[in-house]
Amino acid sequence: MRIVLQRVTSAQVAIEEQVVGQIKQGYLLLFGAADTDGEDEIDYYVHKIAKLRVFSDGAGKMNLSIQDVGGAILSVSQFTLYADTKKGNRPSFTKAGAPDHAKQIYERFNQKLRNAGIHVETGEFGADMQVSLVNDGPVTIIFDSADL
């Protein structure tokens, strides 16, 4: 599982110029799954993201979680996070999860974030999407289950 988390003041995703998901303060998550990902990885990252303290407290320190600030998540599937660029000029995506498996992992991940009490908006799995965001900070954090 690979997740790029960006703290945002706003973000939206559109398909064919129609907005399908949008949030104000919170996280934009770019999400990719591998065939080896399952419930353990989902549970680990849901907990990590829900509790991650990267929002400023009254003293200006990154000390508050998304739950503390009442933020939301815009979760966008992105198999290109598994691009292999070692050979040639055209990336290979063979390390990305098979579409059926990756979609199931993506949907379970989003549902578990919702179950943790976080409002989650999404794009559409497998669609050509346009993502707009205002990165706050900027704060960008990369998670990779290969590092677990």
Give tens-digit pLDDT for 91-114: 999 999 999 999 999 999 999 999
Catalytic residue flag (residue 80): yes
Q: Which of 6, 12, 55, 79 is catalytic?
A: 79
Mean pLDDT of 123-146: 97
Q: Cα-flanking dihedrals φ and ψ of residue 105, to 5°?
A: -65, -45
pLDDT average, residue stretch 20-38: 98
Q: What is the pLDDT of residues 1-13, one digit of tens each?
A: 999 999 999 999 9
Domain that holds residue 138: 2-147
Q: In this structure, what CATH number is given to the domain that contains residue 52?
A: 3.50.80.10
For the question of residue 79 being annotated catalytic, the response is: yes
**Residues 6, 12, 31, 78: which is the catalytic one?**
78
Number of domains in the chain: 1
Contacts 24+ apart (CB under 8 A), 44-51: 44/145, 44/148, 45/1, 45/3, 45/109, 45/143, 45/145, 46/109, 46/112, 46/113, 46/116, 47/116, 48/143, 49/3, 49/5, 49/73, 49/113, 49/143, 50/113, 50/116, 50/117, 50/118
Task: Classify residue 147 by its DSSP letter.
Answer: G
Pick the catalytic residue from 9, 36, 80, 140: 80
pTM for the model stands at: 0.96
Question: Does position 140 have pLDDT exceeding 90, yes or no?
Answer: yes
